[in-house]
Each structure stands twice: as C-alpha cells, then as structure tokens.
Amino acid sequence: MISIEKINDFKWLIPRMEGMRVPGIIYISEKLLNKAVSEKAPEQIINVSKLPGIVKYSLAMPDVHWGYGAPIGGVGAFDAESGVIAPGFVGYDLNCGVRLIRSNLTADDVKNKLEDLINLLFTNIPCGVGSTGALKLKRKDLEKVTAEGAEWAVKNGFGTAGDLENTEENGRIKEADPDAVGNRAYERGTSQLGTLGSGNHFIEIQRVADIYDKTAADSFGIFPGQITVMVHSGSRGLGYQVCGDYLDRFGRVAADYGIKLSDRQLACAPVSSKEGRRYFRAMNAAANYAFANRQIMTHLIRETFSSVFGVPYEKMQMSLVYDVTHNICKIEKHTVDGREKTLYVHRKGATRAFPKGHPQLPERYRSTGQPVIIPGTMGTSSYILVGTEKAMEETWGSTCHGAGRMMSRHQAVKEGRNRSIAGELAGRGILAKGVSGKGLAEEMPEAYKDIDEVIEIVEGAGLSGKIARMVPLAVIKG
C-alpha cells in the first residue's frame, strides 16, 4: 500500500520513503485519484524518484497512468552534472505531439462538406500501423529531415515560415545528430514521413464551442463557431526504433556507471556520459522527424480542404496556432531554491506550458503565454490552454497532455465487443473513420478519463489557464 497524502484539493504527496531521493507529487482530484489511478502509476512515480540526480520531486499530471517504465503524465528534472537521462521516461513515440490549425471557416461552412473532407483526408493521409506515405526518401534526405525537422519540410514546399514560428523549438531541435540514429530506424522511417500512424493518433475537424479568455483567444486567432483541425502524431517507426535501440544499450551500460535499476524498463545513463549524450542527440533527431511529419500532414490537410472547397487554402487562412511536443527530454533553465539551474526536463505525456514573458516563446505569444494544445477523446472536448508562472514554479513549466487512459487497450476492446463505436459516435453527430473497428474500440471515449475533470484540475492547481474549448465534428483514426 502506497501512502498518498492530500496537500490540497488538486495536489497530493507521496512522502519520501526508503530509496526515494525526492518525494512524489500528483496533481489530481480526490475523485479521479480514487476512480482512475491504479496502484501501478504511483509505483512508477516512486521508481522515477529513485533515479540519480532527480531534482526536487517526481511529478505526475492528472492524466497520469501506467506506462512503459515510467508513468505517462510524468515529469521529472535532472541535474546537468549528476543526473541521468532515461528513454523509458520519454516514451517510445519520441516527440509525439499535437498541433492545432485554425481557419476562417465556420461550422456552417463545413456542414455539408464534412463527409467529403473526412473521406479525402483518409485518402490523402496514410494511416494505420505500418502505413507508408507518398514520400519515399533516400537515406541522405532522411538525414536532412532528422537534422532539420519541420524546416526541411517547409524548405521542400510543405508549409510556410509562419508554421515554423508557431512550433516548439521552431520545428527544429539544434542538438540533433543524424549519425546517432541507427540503420534500422532509418529503414523504418524511409516511407513513413507524412503518415498518421495508429493507436491514439488522429486528425480531427473541430468546432470552437467556448471561449474563456477573449483577449488570449483573439491573439491565438480563435473565435466561437470556428473550424479548427487538430493533428496528433509522432515519429512513427523511426522514433520507436531509436527508443528501443538506446533502451537496450542503457540496460547494458547502466551498471558500469554504478546505477542500480529498480526496473529494467527505466534503464538510464548519466546525461554527461558518452551513451547519455548520444541518446540525447538521437532523441532530438527523431523529434525533428516528428516535427517534419506533422508539418507535412499539415500541408496535406490544407490541400485537402482546398480541393473540397475549390479555393486556395490561403483564402481559408489555415494557419498554425501552435505545435507542442508531449514526449521529450529538454535542456531548460529553471529556478531551484532561488538559483538558476540547467536541467534535463523529462516530459512523458506532459506538455510544456511556459508563461508570458518567457524568452523561448514566439514574439506573438510573449504577452499571453504559450498556447497549450490538449486533445480529449473522439467523443469529447479538446482545449486550448495557456502556460502560467505557477507551472514554472511548481512543475518545471509543465501541464497535462490529454485525458489519459483509464482502461487498458485490451480491456477497451473487450468492452467494445458487439458494439459499433463509429455508429455510437455518429448517433452523437460525430463522423469517425478508422482503419479498424478494433482500433476505434481501443480509443472509445469511456476508455479515457473525463477531459473536463482533467482540465479543471490543471486550472485549479494553477498550472494552466483555459482559453477555449473545441468539440469534435469528424475524425480519422489510424
């Protein structure tokens, strides 16, 4: 039995016990804690707290759930000298992330076009496990993609300079090394650029249903009744392979650095070690691939809208609001006990949420704070939030990343037997097109926590502010 003590309505403490270097903190409500968090997630929060060089606390967001090695919804910062880096605390889908594309279309404009849009998106953007895209790149070009990220995509005609401006890291992480990515990863990545993938990855056409902060919404280009398009995808087989390769490697070398692993899935190496630095550069290379992937899909989405409406997409003002990554480790400066420190911040199923004034934000968001894009499920709302100063102080500038699973995929498939999830969604006015019925069942809304409750918690805890809520109209699923 793990003891979890209430700090306040939205914040809970796992006190430091034998072997823990720092305490655990879970941002959650009593209701969600009892209903949606199994014992396995707190065990992983504790395992993370035992890693060398972890600073202050092992954190979990309200969408926390059990994952490979470390919890999804977990955040932890590590000292730049004594800390470690752990692939299992970044996730297999390196730079899995979300972007939101705005438009000047209203729900009325798309009412009679939704079916065409969703069918053509499904045709134009390959999805599903192992799906391959229209682009087949030579190894040399692929290396440019891992070095240059979304910048490569824009350079090759898939998007605009404005897209880069509105992407975390401008869509290109500088400290990336194409040579740190293995052959097998490149083989898998060759034909997958511009593909959606499977699982919880999706492209969704949404309607803006609520505005909570008009000033911020205005500066984000968001208005009531507006059509937005949300993309959730990552680095596909390339990132998966990078994660796997370095997990193997770290599993073998951790002992050489005197690290005793409490869970092999949480294999790690010192950030300052040869292996640690190499993983960091490979991870960033895979992250760049993911930025390019979402960028190329953005272009395909714009073309799809153009062809359905018969007007150039520029006329529909389909610009990028923001692109966030929620599976990554970043070098960031944070204040620790009154002093500025350089930290390796791991976010696994957690979103950066920097406050207004932060120097890393694009000029246009300097006075509002960073847009935080949070998807719900196929059947529920999604949100635009904004980063806060309190997140900077308490969670290394982090917030939740989505609703967070409540049921295992296996359990969801079982629940979905003799049901048509697409049919049920259609009954609620949501057009869902998936590669497989099983895939849709795995992603049924009931398999997830209530996104509205999750958002209430991050807002109540002061980790982000609500800007707008979108509802799903139509979605494609891998």
Residue from 116, 187, 210, 332 binding DNA (CB under 7 A): 187
448 binds DNA (CB under 7 A): no
Report the distance separating Cα 465 and Cα 478, nearest Å. 31
Phi, psi dihedrals of residue 71, rounded to the nearest 5° = -70, 145
Can you tell me which residue has the tokens 């929060």?
A: 45
250 binds DNA (CB under 7 A): no
Residue from 56, 184, 277, 433 binding DNA (CB under 7 A): 184
Q: Say how far residue 305 (Cα) sits from the centre of its chain.
A: 25
325 binds DNA (CB under 7 A): no
By CB under 7 A, what part of segment 404-443 binds DNA?
Answer: 409
Nearest residue (CB) to DNA, 107 versus 229: 229
Residue from 63, 79, 93, 323 binding DNA (CB under 7 A): 93
177 binds DNA (CB under 7 A): no
Please identify, among the stretches 195-203, 258-266, 376-384, 455-463, the one whose residues bind DNA according to the rule CB under 7 A: 195-203
Beta-carbon contacts of residue 436 (< 8 Å; ≥ 6 apart) = 128
What one-character-per-residue DSSP string does 422-436 give?
HHHHHHTT-EEEES-
275 binds DNA (CB under 7 A): no
Biggest CA pair distance of the chain: 65
Q: How many beta carbons lie within 10 A of that of residue 39, not counting itself?
A: 9
- Torsion region of 157: left, alpha or beta (phi above 0 gives left; psi -120 to 50 gives alpha): left
Dihedral sign for Cα atoms in the order 221, 171, 207, 210: negative
Residue 189: enclosing H or E segment and its boundaries?
helix 183-189
By CB under 7 A, what part of segment 9-28 binds DNA?
Answer: none
Residue 211: enclosing H or E segment and its boundaries?
strand 202-211
x/- site string to DNA, residues 350 to 389, per CB under 7 A? ----------------------------------------
Nearest residue (CB) to DNA, 87 versus 355: 87
Nearest residue (CB) to DNA, 99 versus 201: 201
Nearest residue (CB) to DNA, 54 versus 100: 100
Report the distance separating Cα 126 and Cα 103, nearest Å. 23
Is residue 358 annotated as a catalytic residue, yes or no?
Answer: no
Please identify, among the stretches 54-62, 183-191, 356-364, 424-432, the one whose residues bind DNA according to the rule CB under 7 A: 183-191
Residue 24: enclosing H or E segment and its boundaries?
strand 24-27
Residue from 236, 330, 352, 401 binding DNA (CB under 7 A): 236
397 binds DNA (CB under 7 A): no
Q: Which of 65, 201, 299, 401 is catalytic?
A: 401
Q: How far is CA 43 from CA 64, 263, 413, 414, 460, in A?
A: 12, 11, 26, 26, 25
By CB under 7 A, what part of segment 110-149 binds DNA?
Answer: 129-130
**Residues 432/426, Cβ–Cβ less than 8 Å:** yes
63 binds DNA (CB under 7 A): no
x/- site string to DNA, residues 152 to 171, per CB under 7 A? --------------------
Q: How far is CA 92 from CA 96, 236, 247, 460, in A?
A: 9, 9, 10, 31
Residue 228: enclosing H or E segment and its boundaries?
strand 227-233
Supply the minimum distance, in Å, between the C-beta of residue 56 and DNA: 28
Q: How many residues bind DNA (CB under 7 A)?
A: 22
Single-letter residue type at 97: G
Nearest residue (CB) to DNA, 130 versus 423: 130
Helix axes 236-253, 274-309, angle to 10 degrees: 170
Residue from 103, 167, 241, 377 binding DNA (CB under 7 A): 241
List of residues contacting DNA (CB under 7 A): 68, 92-93, 96, 129-130, 184, 187-188, 192, 197-201, 234, 236-237, 240-241, 409, 478
Q: Residues with catalytic annotation? A: 401
